[in-house]
Structures are given as structure tokens and as C-alpha cells.
Amino acid sequence: MSIEQHDVRHLARLAKLALDEPDIPALATELARIVEYVAELAAVDTTGVEPWLPGAVPAAPLRPDTPARGLSAELALDQAPRRRERAFAVPAFVDDE
Amino acid sequence: MSESVPSLVSGVQAGRLSAEALTEGALGVIERAGPLNAFLHVDGEGARAAARGLDERRVRGDELGPLAGIPIAVKDSLCTQGMPTTAASRSLTRDGSARSGWRPPYDATVVSRLRAAGAVIVAKTNQDELAMGSSSENSAFGAVKNPWDLARTPGGSSGGSAAAVACRATPLALGSDTGGSIRQPAALCGVVGIKPTYGRVSRYGLIAFGSSLDQVGPLATDVRSAARLLGVLSGHDPLDSTSATVPVDDYEAACERGARGLRIGVPSEYFASGLSPEVERAVRAGLDALRDAGATIVDVELPHTRYGVATYYVLATAEASSNLARLDGVRFGLRVEAERGNLDGLYGASRSAGFGREVQRRILLGTFVLSSGYYDAYYAKAQRVRALVARDFERAFARVDAIAAPTSPTVAFRLGERLTDPLAMYLADVYTLPASLAGLPALSVPAGLSTATDADPALPVGLQLIGPAFAEASLLALAACVEAACPPSTPEPWA
């Protein structure tokens, strides 16, 4: 699997990154090298092996179901780069593709 | 500050030392250490007030906590109320400057625990952006330099925290380790660094990178100081559903246990090509010290070690690409309005202006391995190979109590040396990644210095100890034996 420039543009769209066009050729080369390296995993025999996550945590214990106060709206909005009244402000998006 | 933390705390509790004097000492070194670029934010005023408060409480006869009066530096990827938190990323600033960093409305649990234990938080430390890197050069606010040689990196990503301890600004610092980000900088800076078992320490308030890997842990001047801090950090946190309810051992008592009766496995895979002869010499001397202290050394095999780097860079980037979706310019951090004024435009413009090259590269790679058509070949495959890496350790730990190996294949490398070659940088983590993948505890303890030559100064070497889940106490017992044979040293200008 090699990564071409059009693949980088596609991935950037999926990842919501607006890459600068001049950066794309170098990114494609770097990603291609890394993907070529990680492709060595294909050679490992994983027949009958299940996907694995750290099992050290015995069972995620549940919190007691007691009401607690969360962040106030004012505190949550305190660091917002743009807000409108008691809400985060975003551009209109209903007419996006 | 050459005393260990337990001794300093006793001094503060008995009134022999004042928290205020310790804090002034730390702030003085931080000022002199400016050229290291290890600190992103120094809270002199807050630290002095906290220290004064502690001294007043002592005079009143109040009981002081286990870190009473100890100045500590905190990695900038941990949330600190009242102090900026940027994780060295422009994406967590208002205008791109560290000063305009995001101010979290809450403390990370580990930070709350520090405050409750009486520690004095003096500074936030520089790091690789969002913890992605092995040299602390990927910071949006400039590279961190190694106190042993300013032309070299301190390692990463917790490079600022390691440098803070190495230059003796603070005897303790907090770091986070996803694939080696505490242990590798600890090794390269000649300090002790512990990555606890996955689940041992709460991650609530740690800016997430790879959620199945991230752990917070201590960096310290010496083993007993690290043990004291680990004891404070460890334990269940209802705010982190991955935090374990397993009882916390007495880590300081463990440091006095010695090595007699313990079996240590040495994996040949960690002494393969690419290992610097100077690192090997120092690590083997450390193994001799463990043998002299009564441990039995045996060979073990960890055959899937060679797949650690590939497995890690698939899984960690996949998790990062998902975790970092929250940095979108809407609720906090950098917002850049796009020419095309829709929501996608806002996301794209804000994220591209906010993230540096390495972060963008990893998001793209993570997006690739999770994308339709490649998921099974890369992501699902890596999860299975991860199982094999963990199984290797399981088999080894049926025969031994701990595994000893180098922490890093080389001593500190020169600034800029690997920046243009991401893959070469990733290979710096070859010996730390497997324990991370298996969720196991691991630490790095100084094992002496390399031999100085005309071209290179003497530089620190770290010996890594890996244990079964929740066996931090055994690792500390062994680390104390290595330390007894090889006491901590301080780089010349900071001694």
C-alpha cells in the first residue's frame, strides 16, 4: 500500500485538516514510509488471536448513582473563543454538503 | 537540593526547613535554567502563597501531608486550575502564545492529590506537542534542552519535566507516558521515571493522546523520592473509569527490601543491533549490581518485541486521531475563521493552525488505519499483535519477577538530528513501547554515565525495569539496589 498525494487530501478531509497544498508532497512521502514500515505486521501469524486491550483493570466499577453538580454554563462558556448568550457560537452549517 | 523528598518533608514537618525557603530555592533555579526552555508557565505568586500557607499551618500544629512543602513541576498536558494548560500546542491557546493558554476549570485528579499532600506547584513544563514525540522538539513553544548538554534533547515527550528534575529546580515532577514519554526522558536526563501499571493512577484531567496506553507518573531525583510521589498519585478515582481498585502497596518500604530472592529476566531482544555499546556497558554493570545484591539473573525471550514500534504507531495514532477531534475551535482554544464561512471551514482552519507537523502527521496516519478498507489490515491486526506482545510478557513473568533492559538504545541525541526523519524518531522508543502496549509497570533508573570522548561529554544511561501488573513495589526494590551501586549525579552547571 503506497500513500499518494490524493490519499493525503482525502485523509485530510476525513480528519478535518485544511492542509497547505505545498506541504502535501512531503506528507505523502513521510506517510508512505511509515505505512510501509507498519505493514510488517502483516507477516505476524495472528491466527486465532483475539484483539486485546490492557486487562489490568479488573472491572470498571460503576459510580454511585447520586446527583452531583457539573460545570455551570457560565464556567463552561468562559473559555469559548466565541459565544452567543448561553451557547457556543458556530457558523451556519445546515447548507453544508 | 540533594536531600531526598522523604527527608525534606520530615524537615518541613519538624520545622527544620520551611516550605517558603524550598519554594524560593526552586524559583531561583528555574530562573537560572531559562536557557533549557523547560518551563512554559511559572507560578511564583501562587507557589509562594501555597508555601506560606503550609508554614503557617505547621506553626499552628496542623498535620502536614506526605509532600509537605515540596516544590513540584507539572507537565503541561495535565489540567491545573488557575494556570494555563496548553500541552505545548497552539490549539490550546487563544492567540498562539503560551501566555494565552487555556485555563482549565478544574484540576486533574493527580494535581488535586498533589495539592492535598502539601506539594507546591511551581511551574508547568514544556513537552512535545500533545505528548507526541521523543525529543521535546515538537513543542509549539520551542525545543527543550538537556541540562547535561544544551546541544542535545532531553528526550520526550515529558522532556521539560525530566530537565526540571535533572537541573535540580524541583526534586519531583509529573509526566505522562504513552509509549515511553516518562522513562525515555528520565534515562536521557539521568533521573528516575516511573510509568505505572495501566489503571494504577487516574488520568482524569490528562489531555488524552492514546487512551488505551496513557498513564501519569513521577519523575524524581532518586528512587525513594519517586516512591513517595507514586504513593500519593496511586489509587482508585471515581472520575476515571479505567482506574483500578487494586490496593496500593507501601512503595517506600519496598525500597528497603533489597533484591535477595528476586529473579530478573534479561531479554536478548533488547540487546540487539542498534544498541549503543556505551549504553550496553552501563546497563550490564547495573545487572551486575543487582546480582551482587542477591538477585538471580536469567535469560528470557520476548520474541514479538520487534513488532512493538509498528503496533504502537498504528494503535496510538488511531486513538489520537479520535481523541483530538475535540480540539475544533468551538469550545476552547484557538479559533480561526475560514474564508468559506461554514462549520467544516472553521474546523479545518482552526485545526491546521493549531496543530504542528508531527501532530498532523499522526492524525492523518490514525485516520488512515481506521478508514474503511484498511481497518482490518492495520488497526485490527495491530490489536492482535498487541495480544502477542502481552503474551510474551505473561510467559516471561511465569519464570521471573521483573525484566531488566536498557530504557533507550542511545544516550541523549543532538537537537535536530532526527527531526526530519519521523521513523528514526519513532525507533527511539523501541525498548519502552512493549511494556506500554502490555499495560505493565516500568521504570527507568540511572545506571551511570557514558564515557566522555573528545566529541561527546559523559551522558546519563537509564536501566529499565518492567514488572507484572501492579508490581511497582518489586521494581522499586530493585531500582533502589541499582541506585545504591550507582548514586544519582547532577550535571556540572547545576550541581
B403 by DSSP, 3-state: which? Answer: strand
Determine the pLDDT at residue B1: 52
Residue with the three cell numbers 561529554: B457
Residue A59 lies inside a defined structural domain of this protein? no
Residue B121 DSSP code: E
pLDDT tens digits, B67-79: 999 999 999 999 9
pLDDT tens digits, B261-298: 999 999 999 998 889 999 999 999 999 999 999 999 99
Q: How many CB atoms lie within 10 A of CB B399?
A: 11
Which of B238, B378, B422 is opposite residue A63, by nearest beta carbon?
Answer: B238
In chain A, the number of structural domains is 1
Question: Predicted ipTM?
Answer: 0.93
Chain B positions in Cβ-Cβ contact with residue A76 (cut-off 8 Å) = 105, 331
Per-domain residue ranges for chain B? 5-306+385-494
Mean pLDDT over each residue of chain A, to the nearest integer: 89
- A30 contacts B243? CB cut-off 8 A: no
Peptide bond into B352 cis (omega under 30): no
Look up B408 and say whether it is catalytic.
Answer: no
| Strands annotated E in B383-459 | 402-406, 442-449
Angstroms from B488 CA to nearest CA on chain A: 32
- A81 contacts B334? CB cut-off 8 A: yes
Chain B positions in Cβ-Cβ contact with residue A46 (cut-off 8 Å) = 381, 384-385, 387-388
Angstroms from B439 CA to nearest CA on chain A: 5
Which of B365, B388, B390 is opposite residue A46, by nearest beta carbon?
Answer: B388
Inform me whether the pLDDT recorded for A56 exceeds 60: no
End-to-end Cα separation, chain B, in angstroms = 9
Hey, what's the cell of B210?
492514546
H helices of A1-97, where? 5-14, 24-38, 73-77
- A61 contacts B439? CB cut-off 8 A: no
Angstroms from A69 CA to nearest CA on chain B: 13
Q: What's the average model confidence in pLDDT over A77-92?
A: 93
Look up B268 and say whether it is catalytic.
Answer: no
- A8 contacts B364? CB cut-off 8 A: yes
B257 by DSSP, 3-state: which? Answer: coil
Which of A15, A35, A79 is opposite residue B102, by nearest beta carbon?
Answer: A79
Which domain range does residue A29 map to?
5-43
Which of B197, B198, B367 is opposite residue A11, by nearest beta carbon?
Answer: B367
CB pairs under 8 A between A and B: 185
Q: Residue B32 contacts by C-beta under 8 Å, 6 or more apart in sequence?
A: none
Nearest CA in chain A to B380: A51
Residue A77 lies inside a defined structural domain of this protein? no
Q: Which helix (H) or strand (E) holds B363?
A: helix B357-370
- B385 contacts A91? CB cut-off 8 A: no
d(CA B268, CA B430): 14
Inform me whether the pLDDT recorded for A93 exceeds 80: no
Buried b (16+ CB within 10 A) or exposed e, B236-248: bbeebebbbebeb
- The burial of A59, by beta-carbon neighbours within 10 Å (0-12 exposed, 13-18 middle, 19 or more buried), is given as exposed
Residues of chain A by 3-state class (helix, strand, coil), percent to 5: 40, 5, 55
Angstroms from A84 CA to nearest CA on chain B: 12
- The burial of B223, by beta-carbon neighbours within 10 Å (0-12 exposed, 13-18 middle, 19 or more buried), is given as buried
Angstroms from A41 CA to nearest CA on chain B: 7
Determine the pLDDT at residue A58: 59
Residue with the three cell numbers 481523541: B323
Inform me whether the pLDDT recorded for A64 exceeds 60: yes
Buried b (16+ CB within 10 A) or exposed e, B411-449: bbbebeebbeebeebbbbbbbbbbbbbbbbbbbbbbbbb
Low-confidence ranges of chain B (pLDDT < 50): none
Q: With left for phi above 0 and alpha for psi between -120 and 50, is residue B337 left, alpha or beta?
A: beta
Residue A56 lies inside a defined structural domain of this protein? no
At the topology level, CATH places domain B5-306+385-494 in Amidase signature (AS) enzymes (3.90.1300)
Nearest CA in chain B to A17: B348
Asked whether the beta carbons of B276 and B410 are under 8 A apart, the reply is yes
Chain B positions in Cβ-Cβ contact with residue A80 (cut-off 8 Å) = 330-332
- B330 contacts A80? CB cut-off 8 A: yes
Please identify which of the residues B136, B181, B243, B450 carries the catalytic annotation.
B181
Q: Residue B352 contacts by C-beta under 8 Å, 6 or more apart in sequence?
A: A17, A18, A19, A20, B336, B360
Q: Which helix (H) or strand (E) holds B47?
A: helix B44-60
d(CA B125, CA B144): 9
Determine the pLDDT at residue B424: 85
d(CA B289, CA B106): 45
Please identify which of the residues B75, B124, B145, B195 carries the catalytic annotation.
B75
Maximum distance among all alpha carbons in chain A?
57
- B342 contacts A92? CB cut-off 8 A: yes
Inform me whether the pLDDT recorded for A37 exceeds 60: yes
Residue A25 lies inside a defined structural domain of this protein? yes
Suggest the residue from B93, B312, B384, B391 to mutate for an interface test with chain A (most A CBs closer than 10 A). B384
d(CA A81, CA B332): 6
- A44 contacts B304? CB cut-off 8 A: yes
Hey, what's the cell of B386?
498487541
- B304 contacts A19? CB cut-off 8 A: no
